[in-house]
Chain A
Amino acid sequence: MRDDNAHQEMLAAAQQLIVELEAGNDDQVTSLIDQLAKIRETELFQEIGKLTRELHNAITDFQVDSDLSDIAKSEIPDAKERLNYVITMTNQSANRTLAAVEGAIPLCEALNCKSIELRAEWNRFVNREMNANEFRQVSKTLQNHLDESEGQLASVKEALTEILMAQEFQDLTGQIINRVIKMVDDVESHLVTLIKVSGSPTSPDKQESKEGKLEGPQVPNLSTSETVNGQDEVDDLLSSLGF
């Protein structure tokens, strides 16, 4: 990280500092310590500058592939908006799927009802409990049912295809999220460098109290002992409380 000039400058100042300290020249000592601090500050500012530039570049470079942007239609310049877009896409997909399901269920129910009705009539016919007039009526109902069911089944098939297509969000959102992860990784590695350079004492064991903080959905491999694994554990916990 440190360039050679800065290194040489620091070494020279440090060597001079020892000389001045041994000679008891207090003014020179103070001046040299200030000089060393200045070299260090310069390095810190350079690192902040670099980080800012990298962050800016990362955000600017954060463009989707041309085919993805064709689908997205709008160019959203930063990761925050990209993630909002993920929410929008998943929301649209869920609504698209639900609308298809809500459309298809009544069709299936209607087909089922009609089949049950016709089966009863057919049984009467087989058992010779039906006169000619009734049979003519049943034939007409059967014909109508066959005509209608053709269209209804085509609509059900259409709904299933719609559900299939609505799953496309997974690929697209996955790509966007991967890009955000990459950007966060880059920023993180520069922040780590910054912390090293600034030399602030870190205390990795220090943890803020998380009491009352909501954790949100459980992510595989990130669960802690504080959380339950699945509905069975919730049930065990609640039954231990008398539920």
Chain B
Amino acid sequence: MPADPNMKILIVDDFSTMRRIIKNLLRDLGYNNTAEADDGQTGLPMLQNGNFDFLVTDWNMPGMTGIDLLRAVRADANLATLPVLMVTAEAKREQIFEAAECGVNGYIIKPFTAATLKEKIDKIFERIDG
């Protein structure tokens, strides 16, 4: 079963163009209910107050990085099960291991394609629904 097209998605990236690209790609995939934050520090309170269903985050950001945001999400009882997709230029093996250890649900390296984004989102929600 594909993910709910009305699910509320938070996109966290310090580059506004990348947020815009992801937002447009998500809209093409039928997900119109999105919000944006420019780093973990602004993203975390939005997640805590906003009933989000899915988080798409970059790793390397000023303020609070994506991996710290992921840790904070997993440590928060209300957010612990929130599906998190990391979309980042960080391609070191140890970093991918680190993200996996912190409980990431999917990992995409930049540059990426619309097809990859769709595939990872479908996979994440298939696994959750299954």
Contacts and interface: CB of A to CB of B under 8 A. Distances in A.
Interface of A: 91, 94-95, 98, 101-102, 211, 214-218, 223, 226-231, 234, 237-238, 241, 243
Given A91-B17, A95-B17, A214-B60, A234 B96 contact: yes
Contacts of B17: 91, 94-95, 98
Contacts of B92: 215, 226-228
- The 9 nearest A-B residue pairs measured at CB: A94-B17, A217-B89, A227-B91, A214-B60, A241-B100, A228-B91, A98-B20, A227-B92, A226-B92
A224 to B, nearest CB: 8
Interface in B96-128: 96-97, 100, 106-110, 112, 116
B109 A230 contact: yes
B68 interface: no
Contacts of A102: 24
B60 A238 contact: no
19 contacts: A91-B16, A95-B17, A98-B17, A98-B20, A214-B60, A214-B95, A215-B90, A217-B89, A223-B91, A226-B94, A228-B96, A228-B109, A229-B91, A231-B109, A231-B112, A231-B116, A234-B107, A237-B96, A241-B97
Contacts of A241: 97, 100
A243 B93 contact: no
Contacts of B16: 91, 95
Interface string B1-31: 0000000000000011100110010000000
Nearest to A90: B17
A218 B91 contact: yes
A231 B108 contact: yes
Contacts of B89: 216-218
Nearest to A94: B17
